[in-house]
Amino acid sequence: MNMHRIVLLAAVTAVFVASCTGDSEATPSTTDPAEESRVRCAEIGSDLVDDLQEYVDGFATYTLEDLTDGQVPGLTEIEAQIDQSRATAEGHGCDMALFSDDLIASATTLTGEGPVGRPLAASLRGDPPVDESEAITTTLTPDDDLAEVVSIAGPGSHITLTSGTYEVAETLFIDRPITIDGPTSGTATIASSARNAAVIVSTNGSLVLESVTVEHVGEEPGTVIVGASGDIFLDRVVVSGGVVDEETGADGHGIALTTAPDDFGNESVVTIISTTISDNAAIGIAVFGTARPVIKETTIVDNVACGACFFDQSGGSISDSTIARNQVGFGSSGSSRPRVEYNTIEANSVAGGVLEDSANPQIAWNDFTDNGASGIEIGGNAGSTIRSNLISGSERSIIIADEAHPLINLNTFSEDDIAVSLAGTAQPVIQSNTFTGSALAAILAAEEATGTISGNIIEVVDIGIQIGGDASPTITGNSLTGEEGIAVLYVEQASGILSNNRYSALANGIQVGDSASVEIDGETITDLTSAAVLITGSATATLSELTIDGADFGIFVDEDATADISMTSIGNTESAGIVFTESTSGSVTETSCSGGSTIVLVDGASPELADNECSVSRQ
């Protein structure tokens, strides 16, 4: 059966029509047919048509997502049933020529619903495809029947719409190249009340749509434009009004795209420029399969779930566009790899972007502003390059969880509570970014997060970098400054390596508490108002080759903490260079003190001291 105007259907043989009009000779009756025999032959055909109708009815709620493998389920069984009915009729001695004619006539009553059911019924009815010679060029007014013109327009047809509203009650199926355009003022509107889809562009079709508004109206569920492996070019188009099917959760998108190769192995080309996609009940642009649309200079706003979401193995790009006031600005899941570049992504209520599964998008040169709980949320095993973006105004600018491993590089973060938050077993590379105005912490690592934090410039407000849980990132080569706060804080069971960072103009430099355990090496700490390094609780720290100049205390070891200090230079402290209190322990070796700094041992503290150039006092 030729799947004329169908979504995502592979070509199948014309089984039904061939079964009815096959070249086998009609079996002659050996006796005069009795009335009951004629009735029985009619019943066989009628039962088959009833079964076919039941089969088609089963696809009434099928949508694009249900057929992503490119096959209509149950075709093999239906083909077998058609063959069996033919064999039964022959075995019953029916006049097969009459049987076939009656069956074809009865099949013309088949009807279907939905973007799969309707064309499937048309195929079973034997509706012929559009005659390829019937290309037309015509101008329509709202009094004309747009659906009827589209149905008879052959490949290469050009339909121009004058201003006004074109009410359409059935899906416009595009299975051949067609251009539809309106006046440059954009005052032509296709208002579709069709169930499931206003427009479907199928595998062999292509649609150029310019200066036209396409909106879904009424209460029937539906997606506005469905690209089912067909080529699409949208320019200055408005797409709105997608309605979700409350029973199935399907439909409701502005544009849904998917790709499966055509008979020649080619995949569709989709370009969307200068278009507005808004006020859809699900996703503004939903990209499935291996579709790779190019979307630019487009406005994607006020869609309920997501502005633009990429699934499966899809890709493509969004650039120079505005994505705003959706729940999620853009999403990338499966193994999708879109490029998101030079966009304004703002005021999305949940997140500017969400990355899941094994997604690996490239996100660069965007402006993320005031996007709900997070600017970008990254989970699953997602990797991504997030580069040269401006990200501000969210509770957490970037959240990295699960096993995600993105590269966060050359971004500017500002005016958030926490700029980058790590959890799960995330292992990002956070490199060469600038952090300003993070009210709670520039970087917060928790649970079992690891990764590398290097070469960043951090303005400390409260805490620069906080490491908690069992997190153990490597922190190296960063510059942390500010008028107050703590530059780096380790709590709980945190661990890791802290090396070659620079700290200045803060209250506290490095603080290690609870049962944290840290290797600290090559740090330069200057001009602090409190302690350069504070180690408390039952924490342990190994400190080597630190340079400290200008603090109240250089290194303060308190409570039950243990600190091993070596090859460190301490100068110009107000109260003491190194202090061990109470039941603390550890060692100080090959360390020098200047500018009045000394080693002070309090309440019986007895660290091992060797080869130092520091005076020692006991209190």
Rounded to 5 degrees, φ, ψ at 16 are -65, -50
**416 occurs within a structural domain:** no
Between β-strands 508-512 and 531-535, what pairing exists: parallel, antiparallel or unpaired? parallel
**pLDDT value at residue 544:** 98
**pLDDT value at residue 45:** 76
**158 occurs within a structural domain:** yes
Same domain, yes or no: 137 and 48: no
Q: State the average pLDDT over residues 350-354.
A: 98
Between β-strands 562-566 and 592-594, what pairing exists: parallel, antiparallel or unpaired? unpaired
The DSSP output letter for 613 is B
DSSP-derived 3-state class of residue 177: strand
Between helix 96-107 and helix 35-57 the angle, nearest 10°, is 40
Least confident of 183-197, 246-260, 321-335: 246-260
What digits encode the pLDDT tens for the residues 327-344? 999 999 999 999 999 999
The DSSP output letter for 131 is P
The pLDDT > 90 percentage for the chain reads 71
**256 occurs within a structural domain:** yes
100 burial type by CB count under 10 A (0-12 exposed, 13-18 middle, 19+ buried): buried
Q: How many domains does the chain have?
A: 3
CA distance 448 to 585: 28
Q: Give the pLDDT band (50/70/90) at residue 35.
A: low
Same domain, yes or no: 494 and 534: yes
Q: Is 557 in contact with 581 (CB distance < 8 Å)? A: yes
pLDDT score of 512 more than 90: yes
Query: Does residue 95 or residue 8 have the better pLDDT?
Result: 95
Contacts by 497-502, CB closer than 8 A, 24 or more apart: 497/521, 498/523, 499/474, 499/475, 499/523, 500/476, 501/475, 501/476, 501/477, 502/478
Same domain, yes or no: 233 and 106: no
Name the residue among 264, 277, 283 with its Cα closest to residue 232.
277
What digits encode the pLDDT tens for the residues 157-192? 999 999 999 999 999 999 899 999 999 988 999 999
Same domain, yes or no: 98 and 203: no
**pLDDT value at residue 15:** 33
**7 occurs within a structural domain:** no
Same domain, yes or no: 519 and 610: yes
pLDDT score of 9 more than 50: no
**361 occurs within a structural domain:** no
DSSP-derived 3-state class of residue 378: strand
Q: Give the pLDDT band (50/70/90) at residue 61.
A: confident
- What is the extent of the structural domain holding 598? 482-619
Q: Give the pLDDT band (50/70/90) at residue 49.
A: confident
Same domain, yes or no: 191 and 236: yes
Last residue of a domain, one of 98, 125, 152: 125
Name the residue among 257, 122, 255, 114 with its Cα closest to residue 195.
114
What digits encode the pLDDT tens for the residues 387-413? 999 999 999 999 999 999 999 999 999
pLDDT score of 605 more than 80: yes
Name the average pLDDT for the chain.
Answer: 88
pLDDT score of 302 more than 90: yes
CA distance 520 to 608: 19
Same domain, yes or no: 37 and 82: yes
Most confident segment among 192-201, 266-275, 510-519? 510-519
What digits encode the pLDDT tens for the residues 486-510? 999 999 999 999 999 999 999 999 9
Same domain, yes or no: 159 and 277: yes
Same domain, yes or no: 213 and 94: no
Same domain, yes or no: 155 and 36: no
Last residue of a domain, one of 99, 125, 151: 125
Last residue of a domain, one of 125, 148, 170: 125
Least confident of 18-32, 78-92, 286-300, 605-619: 18-32
**pLDDT value at residue 242:** 96
**328 occurs within a structural domain:** no
Same domain, yes or no: 262 and 154: yes
What digits encode the pLDDT tens for the residues 74-123? 777 877 888 888 888 888 778 777 777 777 767 777 787 766 777 777 77
Within 10 A of 424 (CB to CB), how many other CB atoms are there?
A: 16
**pLDDT value at residue 14:** 31
Q: State the average pLDDT over residues 146-163.
A: 94
**41 occurs within a structural domain:** yes
What digits encode the pLDDT tens for the residues 410-433? 999 999 999 999 999 999 999 999
CA distance 179 to 519: 67
pLDDT score of 39 more than 80: no
Q: Rg of the Cα trace of the chain? A: 35
Name the residue among 337, 335, 341, 338 with its Cα closest to residue 323.
341
**pLDDT value at residue 89:** 80
**276 occurs within a structural domain:** yes
Same domain, yes or no: 171 and 207: yes
Name the residue among 437, 436, 442, 438 with its Cα closest to residue 475.
442
